[in-house]
Structure 1
Amino acid sequence: MTDASLKSLSALPLRVGLVGTGYAARLRAETLKADPRTFLVAVAGHTPEKTQVFCQTYGATMIESWKTLVTSPSVDLVVICTVNRDHGAIARAALEARKHVIVEYPLALDVAEAEALIALAQCQNCLLHVEHIELLGGVHQALKASLPQIGAVFYARYATIKPELPAPQRWNYHQELFGFPLMGALSRLHRLIDLFGTVSTVNCQTRYQKREPTNPYYIACLCNTQLCFNNGILAEVTYGKGETLWQAERKFEVHGEKGALILDGDQGTLVQAGGRYPIEVGSRRGLFAKDTAMVLDHLTTDSPLYITPAESLYTLKVADAARRSAEEGRTIQV
């Protein structure tokens, strides 16, 4: 941020409008309430009843529509924590109203829309921050710090499988609301790209299961993607959830010429010719609070952020290549 953009803000505390009342919104609200630099003034949610309870909990005013919230003169910063489908539209309206914006990934479900939003934020001299807390987590930080110990990397595998029986009829089991699996779950690709750089080709296969063909909610999805990085590293990403997946998995493996790093859940292991050695892995707790605090530091002191919108956009382009690969049945050049 620049001094000129900071002048567009009201004096501290910054007045924040929140769109959403789910898990991420609750964690954001708790952080905003605890930080003296911010005042949570308004919340717009999906249902009036749930939004009213949320507002009572956090001392905010309920706004019936996000369209009203983002244009309110009493809001300086808009935090978007709602269904993926609506991220782009809300961010655009907020930026057009000259508000600073925090949005959970993905920025949008359409690459062209995301590109236009980044350009709009620059034109409006407003902050556009796309959250990627996976980069702040203990597992990713431990993995990144340990990479030099295994030499030149040639293969990585990242699998997250979540059995749910019964599958909930929630927005994250809805193709339109959640988006293509690796767009909705963009962090599965972003961690690999943060570690290994740009991608040359993508090959992806995706399967959905539904009880009824006309029901917009699926009961399971499985997405398997192979990435070839420009530096020659091969990687495989498996993302699945739902009723017909029976074994949970959260595992990240990186194999190199001098050993391997195995992150299984919250446990880390370095495997080398001489044996197996534990890796200290930090906590996954408090990451939304850390992300929020870093944004506030950036807005008030111009300190650097850990992620740029352009970096998130690049991963979105890779996810879109995976979508096209799954739909067209062919390898896609990125």
Structure 2
Amino acid sequence: MYNSETALEKEKVRVGLVGTGNAAKFRAEALLNDERARSHLVGIVGHNAEKTQEFATQYQTEAFDSWQQLVEREDVDLIVISTINRDHGVIARAALTHGKHVIVEYPLSLDVVEAEELIALAKAKQKLLHVEHIELLGGLHQALKQHIAKVGNVFYVRYSTINPLHPAPRKWTYNHELFGFPLIGALSRLHRLTDLFGQVLTVNSHQRYWETEPESEYYQTCFCITQVNFSSGLLAQVIYGKGETLWQPERKFEVHGEKGGLIFDGDTGFFIQDGETTPIEVGTRRGLFAKDTNMVLDHLFDGTPLYVTPEESLYTLKVADAAKRAAQTGLTIFM
């Protein structure tokens, strides 16, 4: 993350918001509920004019016709990008070029090279570039970090998130171009692992799509299995699926070590040893976008360190890109 050497000198940071979905709503609410009133929402832009106007009315701000208009505004200090994955990179580049600080929901870009260029641009401009990774702030990840030492040397991890939907929605998260490769679009699945276990040695992956119709840009189901071999010798398996051809939901994270195991099934956690199972308290997933937003404001005004760097997000993006190439070629990719 990069910002100028001095804290923000204005009394308020003036914010432009790109997006009208759930993440954008959480951002807008966090900005409006800023207890220290250090933020002002200047404007909002979305893909649908009617929805954008409704959003602007609800959150007491101005509706814009295009994101280009918003990033070019001189009275905007910070651009928050909460829109389709495909557009993250181009909007972030424009915002940084116009001297704005940037918050972007993961992934920073669908393209690794573009993501590297954006980090370099933020350095050159001395502007904040923060890639949101709220999975690191949530109760599951905090519980993992708190208890993982108990299991000793970790040799196997299984992380599975399966979400059956009948029928599958015809929305951007089920669109090849707009969402991206499953583990790039859902980068948090891999980022939990790289945050906990460090450097990756090899990646292999297999995926399958069920299309809504021949050559359609939308799909009914995607299913992806990826194996990540870490430099430590740890083997991790990541399973990600969503849509109509799946029948049983699952949200499970398993950590197997030489002295015990951690099993998180939904919001329930256990530490398991020989003959003994101990419950683990798992904190809430609520309010994380607000927490992330407040941490960014603290960073801009007070220089408080953030919880993740863009380089860390970029590294995970490289692992996800390796999974994409492995799925396309059938080969094991060395990092």
Q: d(CA) in 1 for partners of 2:125 and 2:207?
A: 38
The 2-side partners of 1:195 and 1:14 are apart by 33
Task: Tell me which residue corresponds to 2:19.
Answer: 20
Out of 223-232 and 206-215, give the one that drifted further: 206-215
Q: Is the 8 A contact 2:89 2:114 kept in 1?
A: yes
Give the direction of change, closer, same or farther, for the CA distance of 1:280–1:244 in structure 2 (3 Å limit).
same
Separation in 2, partners of 1:227, 1:48: 42
**Equivalent residue for 2:30?**
31
Q: CA deviation at 1:10?
A: 6.1
Give ranges in structure 1 of 5+ residues lacking alignment.
none
Q: 1:65 to 1:204 in 2, by over 3 A?
A: same
- Matched to 1:115, the amino acid is E
Cα displacement (A) at 1:62: 0.5
Counterpart for residue 152 of structure 2:
151
Q: Which amino acid aligns with 1:263?
A: F
Question: 1:22-78 CA deviation, whole Å, 9 max, x = no partner?
Answer: 000000000001111000010011110000000000011011000110110110000
- Over the residues paired in the alignment, what is the CA RMSD in angstroms? 1.0
User: 1:192-229: CA deviations, max 9, x gaps?
Assistant: 11111110000000100013112110000001000100
Report the AA paired with residue 102 of structure 2. Answer: V
SS, match of residue 219 in structure 2: coil
Question: Residue 55 in 1 paired to residue 56 in 2?
Answer: yes
Letter in 2 for 1:318: V
CA distance in 2, matches of 1:247, 1:240: 10
Q: Structure 1 CA distance, aligned partners of 2:253 and 2:4? A: 42
Q: Which structure 2 residues correspond to residues 135-284 of structure 1 after superposition, within 5 A?
A: 135-284=136-285
User: How does 1:294-333 map onto structure 2 within 5 Å?
Assistant: 294-333=295-334
Q: Which amino acid aligns with 1:26?
A: K
- Is the alpha carbon distance of 1:248 and 1:207 closer, same or farther for their aligned partners in structure 2, counting shifts above 3 Å? same
Partner SS state of residue 46, structure 1? coil
Identical amino acids, percent of aligned pairs: 63
CA contact (8 A) 2:9 2:301 kept: no
- The alignment partner of 1:94 has SS state of helix
User: How many residue pairs align between the two structures?
Assistant: 332
Segments of 4+ moved more than 2 angstroms: 1-6
TM-score normalized by structure 2? 0.98
Comparing 207-216 with 260-269, which one deviates more in the overlay? 207-216
Which SS does the other structure have where 2:206 is aligned? strand
In the alignment, the residues of structure 1 paired with residue 202 and residue 67 of structure 2 have an alpha-carbon distance, to the nearest angstrom, of 38
Contact residue 178 and residue 184 of structure 1 kept, 8 A: yes
Matches within 5 A, 1:74-85: 74-85=75-86
Indicate conservation of the 8 Å contact 1:161/1:250, yes or no.
yes
For residues 159 and 3 of structure 2, the distance between their equivalents in structure 1, rounded to whole angstroms, comes to: 38
Please give the secondary structure, in 1, of the residue aligned with 2:207. strand
Moved more, 210-219 or 55-64: 210-219
Residue number in structure 2 paired with 1:65: 66
Q: 2:16 is aligned with what amino acid? A: G
Quick one: distance in 2 between partners of 1:5 and 1:56?
Answer: 35
CA distance in 2, matches of 1:3, 1:203: 40
Map of 1:119 onto structure 2: 120
Provide the secondary structure at the position in 1 that maps to 2:80: strand
The answer to whether the 8 Å contact 2:272/2:278 transfers is yes
**Any stretches of 5+ residues in structure 2 without a counterpart?**
none
Q: What secondary structure sits across from 1:219 in the alignment? A: strand
Shift of 1:5: 5.2
Taking the aligned partners of 2:109 and 2:271, their CA distance within structure 1 comes to 37
